[in-house]
Structure 1
Amino acid sequence: MRSISNSIYVLACLGLLLYGCEEPVREDPFVGMGAARWDVGKSANFLLSDDRFTKLELEIAYMEGFRPTDVLLEEMVGFLEEVTFKPEGVVLTLREIPAEGEEFYSAEAIASLEDQYRQSYNEGNTVSVFLLVVDGNFMQDETEFFTIGAAYRNTSMVLFGKRIMESSGGFRRPPRGILETTVALHELGHLLGLVNVGTEMVTPHEDEEQEFHCDEETCLMYWTVETSNVFLFVPQTIRTLDANCRNDLRANGGR
């Protein structure tokens, strides 16, 4: 009896030992919803290079009545193809969502809307970027100074559709397509780590008074682009990145 008991004991211990040696299944921290909850600029290298992701998906969800112009759709895809290394390409998905009818949206409300409507997250070899277009204005806007767009998570940005509609066309106002595209590309630049927010600078060029923005007034990453101050320059063409910003992107894995 003692021999049988000893054998059972040994088998039991062996079973525990073997079980304990099994490799735990670990989730990939760079895919799924959790990987879209980081700070702006934290995914810059993933977006720019082909080291981890070889394909990029741009998902745009717009509220009814605020569909982005074809100019924006074409220019955003073209911009990403120009500055990123994605051998399997850049794909665009466009979807209408119900209008909320709110005059103002807080940062918390915008994040909540993303949680509700975003469908694409990093998966497999595909990295995802999300653009939300809302039908109102930003909660923190002031009468004389307001925000047109913002990057708010590592792969997330928002455009304030109502503000764009009111601020484009007419006397001393840029065409809608030019305005919304310029702002969207500016916010996309922040997701790519510009300026000094996830992509290191090759040559110092961060504006001393406007953090995370380029000090070159004609550059896409100049601070006025995303605010009402853009009208000081009345852009009639879409701005481009200057040499310093392009060098930064290349140094972080981009083209």
Structure 2
Amino acid sequence: MNKFKSFLVACILVFTISCSKNSSDSDNSDTSVNKSANLLATGDSARDILSNDNFDTLVIEIAYVTGFKPTESAITQFTDYLKEHTFKEEIELVYTELSSPSEDELTLQEIADLETKNRTVFNTGSSLGIYIYFSDAPAEGDDLEDGLVTLGSVYRNTSMIIHEVTVRELATLSSSINEADVETTTLNHEFGHLFGLVDLGTDMVNDHQSESENEDGQLVGDNHCNQMGCLMRAELQFGSSTGKSLQTNSKATYEDGIKSGCVLSGTTVLNLLQQNTAKGENTVDLDAECLLDIRANGGRN
């Protein structure tokens, strides 16, 4: 009888352990997140961002290093810009404060590694997740004295870096613009590439892509707009006095093996803002050609 009781207890114990393991495995699978849809190339989610075909909500994680949180004014103007050009009525902001990585400069590979470590928002259900990192470190290869600075970059379909420390430094160079102006222009320009502009996932209705020389001296499309005054006209340039070889080398150093959809220079943004300020305008808008492209790919305007 005692042997039977011992056998029965052993069976119950084995059954309980087995059920516990199955329950644990099930819980892990339920809470796991498929991140692959957020690891695509710049512009690959353009229509998903612009239209409500597959996602009707944007959840934007604003990850910032302590002391480098973006201004409320810039974020308000940024979300207004998104609502103006997409059909997303629901835009949720998730603020994530992070400690400094304690780096003097950052490459895109290092930025991507930080995203892997810190990102918490991904596509789930009808919500499309976006990650924007506001850094306390400048881009690798920056030289403020020579105008060789990078304000931001997009490097995946839902990933963006804003070098907030450089944004603030640039804003001090002109009495006619402020920190929020530079933040807003940088955010809106880079997100324009996530819209798929120019020819980065959203086809052009009419050809309006500008060209610049590549490392072989050939004129090629540079994924920016050739229309005067357009937000997306901000072609890649690292300062007029530096020359093509330094421009190419600086970009290669910063990208560090990760292809960027756009590396936005401080010189470009400063020029755009100063031109608009001279005309009495505070913001830089998309031109008619970019608006045509957005509408053709499911956007609002």
CA distance in 2, matches of 1:201, 1:171: 35
**Which stretch shows the higher mean deviation, 167-176 or 58-67?**
167-176
CA distance in 2, matches of 1:224, 1:179: 16
Q: Which amino acid aligns with 1:248?
A: D
1:248 aligns with 2:293: yes
Q: Decide which of 32, 35, 55 is 1:33's aligned counterpart.
A: 35
CA distance in 2, matches of 1:73, 1:247: 25
Matched residue, 2:154: 151
Equivalent position SS for 2:232: coil
Contact 2:224 2:235 in 1 (8 A): no
Contact 1:43 1:155 in 2 (8 A): yes
CA distance in 1, matches of 2:102, 2:176: 25
CA distance in 2, matches of 1:71, 1:173: 17
CA distance in 1, matches of 2:227, 2:175: 23
Equivalent position SS for 2:160: strand
Unaligned 5+ residue runs, structure 1?
A: 1-26
Q: Decide which of 198, 220, 232 is 2:271's aligned counterpart.
A: 232
Q: Which amino acid aligns with 1:182?
A: T
CA distance in 2, matches of 1:49, 1:55: 10
Tell me the CA shift for residue 178 of structure 1. Answer: 0.2
TM-score, scaled to structure 1: 0.83
Contact 1:134 1:159 in 2 (8 A): yes
Q: How does 1:96-135 map to 2 (within 5 A)?
A: 96-135=97-136
Equivalent position SS for 1:71: helix
Q: Which amino acid aligns with 2:101?
A: E
CA distance in 1, matches of 2:148, 2:228: 19
Matched residue, 1:211: 222
Tell me the CA shift for residue 133 of structure 1. Answer: 0.5
**Which stretch shows the higher mean deviation, 152-161 or 132-141?**
132-141
Matched residue, 1:17: none
CA distance in 2, matches of 1:213, 1:171: 25
Deviations 1:153-178 (A, max 9, x none): 10000000111111103545620000
Unaligned 5+ residue runs, structure 2?
A: 1-28, 213-220, 237-263
* % identity of equivalent residues: 35
Q: Give the alignment's Cα RMSD to 1 decimal.
A: 1.9
Matched residue, 2:249: none
TM-score, scaled to structure 2: 0.71
Tell me the CA shift for residue 76 of structure 1. Answer: 1.5
